[in-house]
Amino acid sequence: MIKIVVAGFNGRMGSTATKMVLANEAFQLVGVLDPTETKTNLNELAEYGQVDVPIFTEKEALLISQPDVWIDFTMPEFALTHTQFALEHGIRPVVGTTGFSEADVAFLTKLSREKETGGLIAPNFAIGAVLMMEFSKKAAKFFPDVEIIELHHDKKLDAPSGTAIKTAEMISEVRNPKQQGNPDEVETLAGARGADYEGMRIHSVRLPGLIAHQQVQFGGEGEGLTIRHDSFDRSSFMGGVALGCKEVMKRNELIYGLENLL
């Protein structure tokens, strides 16, 4: 039985992850974390019924639960501190919070190796999204002209999304930097061409009603290729979260990207 805590359990993703852990026979939920929560136990919240799980408002306090895994769906400004804290205390982080810089990931990876503690940071936990990134990387060998369009709900804080950045990073492994479009093009409205990643363009859409969607658009002479993934419900991410919780128990360092566990 893997003992798990969930940080950010009151958020949409955190709530879904909390319920996934409770429903999984291989897991035991031993605590949840939210610094603003006034209740002290999940059984005080109607949506969780009679489940007896303590609610913590300080990360130091949850160490009493002796968790094996720390699931984090919080805010970018907390996720780095949380992940570092988990690794320093021998807890394996499974992090879906996005906004980590390359320097952040390098720092945490180095720390995980020093502590010989496994972990996972995944910009996207949906299996279909991971496949979309892998297929895009393969296609980029043949279609170096590519633009990424990511679409999310209007409550998302970071842009572009972690998935879009990870996709661009994976494509760049097989694609030489190339400036796309007309060399003399002019943006008559600032930002019209989107963010520039080694010549690739990334566009972010934020609208109510969306969950998480991404389209990778390739163009070639006389043809085009579109690879798209849509998450219509947050439950689509839970299979990847569950897989991550099991796999980090077998690892002794931090992994970046769910595709590295498949």
Binding residues, by number, are 8-13, 34, 96-98, 122-125, 153, 162-163
Runs of H (alpha helix) within the chain:
12-23, 76-88, 102-115, 127-140, 162-172, 238-247
Residue 51 CA to residue 33 CA, distance in Å, equals 15
Please state the residue numbers annotated as binding site for NAD(+): 8-13, 34, 96-98, 122-125
Residues 6+ apart with CB under 8 A from 232: 211
Residue pair 252/120 in contact by the 8 Å Cβ criterion: no
Long-range contacts of 190-198 (CB under 8 A, 24+ apart): 194/147, 195/160, 197/165, 197/168, 197/172, 198/168, 198/172
Catalytic positions: 152, 156
Residue 196 CA to residue 23 CA, distance in Å, equals 42
Please state the residue numbers annotated as binding site for (S)-2,3,4,5-tetrahydrodipicolinate: 153, 162-163
